[in-house]
Amino acid sequence: MELYGLTIHELQDRLRAGETTSAEITASVFGRIDAVEKEVRSYITLMRETAMIEAQAADVKIRKGDIGILTGIPIALKDLLCTKGVLTTCGSRILQNFIPPYDATVVEKLREAGAVFTGKTNMDEFAMGSSTETSFFGVTRNPWDLERIPGGSSGGSAAAVAADECIASIGSDTGGSIRQPAALCGVVGMKPTYGRVSRFGLIAFASSLDQIGPFTKDVEDCAIMMNVLAGYDPKESTSVPEDVPDYRQFLNKGIGGWTVGIPKEYFIDGIDPEVEAAVRRAIRVVEEAGAKCIEISLPHTEYCLAVYYIVAPAEACSNLARYDGVKYGFRSEEGRDLMEMYKKTRAAGFGAEVKRRIMIGTYALSSGYYDAYYKKASQVRALIKRDFDEAFTRCDVILTPTTPTPAFKVGERTDDPMQMYLSDIFTISTNLAGVPGISVPCGFTTAGLPVGVQFLAGHFQEGRLIQFASAYEKQAHIEQRRPKL
- Residues annotated as catalytic (active site), given as ranges: 78, 153, 177
Contact by Cβ (8 Å): 445, 274: yes
Cα 356 off chain centre by: 22
The CA–CA distances, whole Å, from 252 to 103, 436, 469, 474 equal: 35, 20, 10, 8
Interatomic CA distance for residues 168 and 151, integer angstroms: 17
Q: What is the largest CA-CA distance in the chain?
A: 70
Interatomic CA distance for residues 427 and 213, integer angstroms: 14
Q: Cis before residue 153, ω within 30 degrees of 0?
A: yes
N-to-C CA span, the chain: 15
Interatomic CA distance for residues 434 and 260, integer angstroms: 19
Q: What residues have CB less than 8 Å from 217, skipping those under 6 apart?
A: 7, 8, 161, 167, 168, 187, 188
**Amino acid code (one letter) for 243:** D
Q: In 3D, which of 377, 390, 463 has the Cα closest to residue 192?
A: 463
